[in-house]
Amino acid sequence: PLVLGIETSCDETGIGIVRGRQLLSNTIASSMDEHARYGGVVPEVAARAHLEALQPSIERALTEAGVTLDDLDAVAVTSGPGLAGALMVGVGAAKGLAVSLGKPLYAVNHLVGHIAADILTSDDRATAPLEYPTIALLVSGGHTSLLHVRDLTTDVELLGETVDDAAGEAFDKVARLLGLPYPGGPQIDIASADGDPRAIRFPRGLSKASDMAKHRYDFSFSGLKTAVARWVERAEAAGEQVPVADVAASFREAVIDVLVTKALAACEDRGVPRLLLGGGVIANRRLREVALERAAAAGVAVRIPPLSLCTDNGAMIAGLAAELIANGRGPSTLGFGADSTLPVTEIQVSPA
Ligand code: ATP
Ligand code: MG
Ligand code: FE
């Protein structure tokens, strides 16, 4: 099926068009620059930017895919989780588009969309089919989730998630306290280049034996952020020059260590020798490196979608809907809305 997907859960207005698993176009307009001076995504600013970007993005995606609205078999949209106001803009647009075209509408889960990104193929990307079950680690500015995926369209289990800040959010906050600009992930990466990751031993959240009993697959990054803040304050109070490279590298190592350790623990516990990575934080080269190295040692195969499909995009939303259609699932009834806390187990919202 030819599907157009609309993604507006955070600061990317993503429009993607797929034919089955084949990626035809994927346009992304980001309002990231507008959030930079606030050091994080401002919901109202994001919602307004979506409103402005949607129409031109849809036109561009259609042109790039070489198809027209009439050609579409279905429209897909992210219903949640995400920022309520931002989601609402996409949901409203998708309903309007589907109703006016008389096409079926599929309301889907953003997090499951991140997994679906991995099944898409394009001219420069042929990929072996996703094998089940797989453990999935999704890390972005808004999410840090560990999932057990038995089937993309029917069975996704939440193993654990962050109890406070998301991993990307931690990068952004620590960058800010080191005086680096937003978004912090890439900045911390650059700053870490000459740093020693073992210079400072920062805490690994929820990793003590006493925490592991209840939070084996959960993450916590706010304690780490506070530890970095304290360390910098102490150095400044002592009149020392803050070794930004060492602090950045040590912080980055602490985040990565916990992410990879818990993801591989899930693989081992569940007897699943496959790990799928997704979300914008996967752009972190060191994270990919450590994950690949330690997974290989543990006999776990790692899959990483191309980075353009790891950050928020519409193609993964269209891809998930196309997969639902291929599995005989009917469209969503129009009663659904935006659900900022949609659980990952709800893969499709209000199916007929
Ligand atoms: P959502 O949480 O809904 O997926 P988002 O917009 O917050 O949306 P993404 O766009 O997927 O998330 O990713 C942005 C986040 O990824 C930011 O927090 C950014 O700092 C982080 N990030 C980007 N590049 C890197 C990197 N090289 N290292 C670490 N973090 C990175
Ligand atoms: Mg983003
Ligand atoms: Fe996302």
Ion ligand 2: residues, CB < 5 A: 10-12
Give the mutation target among 252, 255, 281, 282 for probing the ligand 1 site: most ligand atoms within 8 A of CB. 281
pLDDT digits (tens, 9 = 90+) for 178-234: 999 999 999 999 999 999 999 999 999 999 999 999 999 999 999 999 999 999 999
Please indicate whether residue 30, judged by its CB atom, sits closer than 6 Å to ligand 1: no
Which ipTM value was assigned to this complex? Answer: 0.96
- Provide the annotated binding site for Fe cation: 110, 114, 312
Phi-psi region of 350 (alpha: psi -120 to 50; beta: other; left: phi over 0): left
pLDDT of residue 345: 97
Q: What is the DSSP string of 138-161?
A: EESSS-EEEEEEEETTTEEEEEEE
pTM given for the model? 0.96
Rounded Cα distance, 314 and 94, in Å: 12
129 pLDDT higher than 90: no
Ligand 1 within 6 A of 143 CB? yes
- Short-list 145, 101, 142, CA closest to 312: 142
Cα 311 to Cα 14, 20, 249, 308, distances in angstroms: 10, 21, 23, 6
Measure 140 CA to ligand 2 centroid, in angstroms: 8
Per-residue pLDDT band for 105 (boundaries 50, 70, 90) equals very high
What integer pLDDT is reported at residue 26 of this predicted model? 98
Cβ 185 under 6 angstroms from ligand 1: yes
Q: What is the pLDDT of residue 240?
A: 95
Other Cβ atoms less than 10 A from the Cβ of 55: the count is: 11
What is the distance between the alpha carbons of residues 28 and 196, in angstroms, rounded to a whole number?
A: 35
Q: Average pLDDT in the 307-330 region?
A: 97
Q: What is the pLDDT of residues 323-350, one digit of tens each?
A: 999 999 999 999 999 999 999 999 999 9
State how far the Cα of 303 lies from the Cα of 222, in Å rounded to an integer. Answer: 28
pLDDT score, position 37: 87
Q: How confident is the model at residue 94 (pLDDT cuts 50, 70, 90)?
A: very high
Q: Which residues are annotated as a binding site for substrate?
A: 138-142, 172, 185, 189, 284
Cα 86 to the center of its chain, rounded Å: 16
Region 117-144: what's the mean pLDDT? 90
CA–centroid distance, residue 243 to ligand 1 (Å): 25
Identify which of 26, 312, 342 to mutate to test ligand 1's pocket (most ligand atoms within 8 A of the CB): 312
Residue 6 CA to residue 313 CA, distance in Å, equals 8
pLDDT 10s digits, 33-66: 999 888 889 999 999 999 999 999 999 999 999 9
Please compute the mean of the pLDDT values over residues 103-110 and round it to a whole number. Answer: 98
Residue 144 CA to ligand 3 centre (angstroms): 10
Which residues, chain by chain, have CB under 5 Å from ion ligand 3? 140, 312
Q: Quick check: 301 pLDDT over 90?
A: yes
How does the average pLDDT of the chain come out, rounded?
A: 96
Contacts of 190 (CB under 8 A, 6+ apart): none
- 279 Cβ closer than 6 Å to some ligand 1 atom: yes
pLDDT reported for residue 352: 86
Helix (H, G, I), strand (E, B) or coil at 4: strand
Q: Tell me the ligand closest to 30's alpha carbon.
A: 2
Indicate if ligand 1 lies below 6 Å from the C-beta of 10: yes
Binned at pLDDT 50, 70 and 90, residue 18 comes out as very high
With cut-offs at 50, 70 and 90, classify the pLDDT of residue 128: confident
According to the model, what pLDDT value does residue 40 have? 87
Residue 165 Cβ < 6 Å to ligand 1: no
* Nearest CA, atom 31, ligand 1: 185
Cβ of 78 less than 6 Å from ligand 1: no
Is 253's C-beta closer than 6 angstroms to any atom of ligand 1?
A: no
Residue with CA at minimum distance from ligand 1 atom 29: 185
Predicted local distance difference test score (pLDDT) of residue 268:
98
Name the residue of 9, 10, 259 whose CB sits within 8 Å of the most ligand 1 atoms, as the mutation to test its pocket: 10
140 pocket-lining for ligand 1 (C-beta < 6 Å): yes
